[in-house]
A = this chain, B = another copy of it.
């Protein structure tokens, strides 16, 4: 399956914290580059997200905010 988001990164799950409704997942996509995602708890369970597994982070280009010093 291919998806339309401009940003799509392969990584390794570094941590998973599951709350009552949501789960917070940290994915390392390159040395020192970690992406944090909050997804629903049922989705995290359905996808079998666990530390050490491979996963992808997908982000729409219109959801990225740019800043400069």
Query: Interface of A with B (CB < 8 Å)?
Result: 1-7, 9, 19-22, 24-25, 27, 29-33, 35-40, 42-44, 46-49, 53-69
Some 10 contacts from A to B, beta carbons below 8 A apart, are: A3-B3, A3-B66, A7-B35, A9-B33, A21-B38, A25-B66, A39-B66, A55-B66, A56-B68, A57-B65
Known contacts A21-B22, A66-B27; A40/B1 CB under 8 A: no
Which of B35, B56, B66, B68 sits near A37, CB closer than 8 Å? B66
- Count the copies: 6
A27 to B32, CA, bound (A): 16
Which of B4, B19, B65, B69 sits near A66, CB closer than 8 Å? B4
